[in-house]
Amino acid sequence: MDRLQALNVFVAVAEAESFAKGARATGLSAPSATRAINTLETALGARLFTRSTRRVRLTDIGRTYLGEVREILAHLQAADDTASGAANTPVGQLRLTCPQEFGRIHIAPLLTEFLDEYPRVRADVLMVDRIVNLVEEGFDIAVRIGHLPSSELSAVRIGQVRRVICGSPDYFAMRGRPQTPGDLAAHRVVSSGSTPPLNEWRFGVDGAQSLRVNPQLTVSSLAAAIDIARRGWGLCRVLSYQVGLDLESGTLQTVLEDHEPAPLPIHLVHVEGRRAAAKVRAFIDFAAPRLRQVGILH
């Protein structure tokens, strides 16, 4: 097995945390993948993985090596694309990452349309509520909600979202509507998301007013929190796109609109330069105008 194939096997095993799954991803048998990693470790004089009967984990050296190998393979792929014409024709695997609910509501249906238009592209989407490092984790495009730090990445703004507090009409008929943030102390609050949950809520355009809420119920699932609010049990705080259809239908209503913090921008972020292959440019050109047309993103 040549060195390039061994590097591809290494990345596949690292991502799958399994020799068997990594082997399948590269079209090899598990013994062949194991031999490739053993040969690579011998050549490097360093252990890249710790093995157990149930799992394979990267060592600290292996984790650093993975980031560097991904960079090498990406540059090599860019060179191959240029030589083969793929730099100008959308083709190959497109890897995207986005927040879970944004991916379910907006990216998944948009992506199927994109793949219908560009059948030579394959897509892999990681929907996760954390910041993914595009370069180190090998992704092409990310949806980022919030203000962007300074970086060498390129960004295309597609809109903005509000942070809203909402409840059902039945709830408001039973318990009334809060008029100020301080009134929330007299209401049932359902908290969701982070662990531990972020219960320090900020209000005002500049976010200067801070309020510590005391939720009666905390759930790890955002969808569950919204459903509980939808059924009239309490109030929850979400991003406006997450309850867009509910707000349109009247199933949920917002309160304290005059006290909302400034909206958060939404961007499509990608690696620029030669790494921005035709598949990346095509998706940006396809997705950006369509996402801008979605009213809840403005």
Question: Which pLDDT does position 84 carry in this prediction?
Answer: 62
Q: 45-52 contacts: CB < 8 A, separation 24 or more?
A: 48/10, 48/14, 49/13, 49/14
Spans in the chain with pLDDT lower than 70: 1, 78, 81-87, 193-198, 272-276, 295-298
72: three-class secondary structure by DSSP: helix
Question: Which pLDDT does position 106 carry in this prediction?
Answer: 93
156-166 pLDDT, tens digit per residue, is 999 999 999 99
Rounded CA-CA distance 71/48 in Å is 17
Name the β-bridge partners of 211: 201
Question: Which pLDDT does position 236 carry in this prediction?
Answer: 95
Q: Look up residue 181 and give its DSSP letter.
A: G
Question: Which pLDDT does position 72 carry in this prediction?
Answer: 85
206-264 pLDDT, tens digit per residue, is 777 888 888 999 998 899 999 999 999 999 999 999 999 999 999 999 999 999 999 99
Rounded CA-CA distance 119/26 in Å is 22
Same fold: 87-159+264-297 with 163-259: yes
The CATH code for residues 163-259 is 3.40.190.10
Give 191's Cβ-side CA count (13 Å radius). 16
Question: Which pLDDT does position 2 carry in this prediction?
Answer: 83
Give pTM, 2 decimals.
0.70
The domain segmentation of the chain, as residue ranges, is: 3-83, 87-159+264-297, 163-259
Name which CATH class applies to 87-159+264-297: alpha beta
Rounded CA-CA distance 253/166 in Å is 5
Cα dist from 189 to 68, 78, 123, 134, 240, whole Å? 46, 50, 38, 36, 17
76: CB partners within 8 A, 6+ apart: 4
Q: Say whether domain 3-83 belongs to CATH 2.60.130.10.
A: no
113: left (phi over 0), alpha (psi -120 to 50) or beta: alpha
Question: Which pLDDT does position 15 carry in this prediction?
Answer: 86
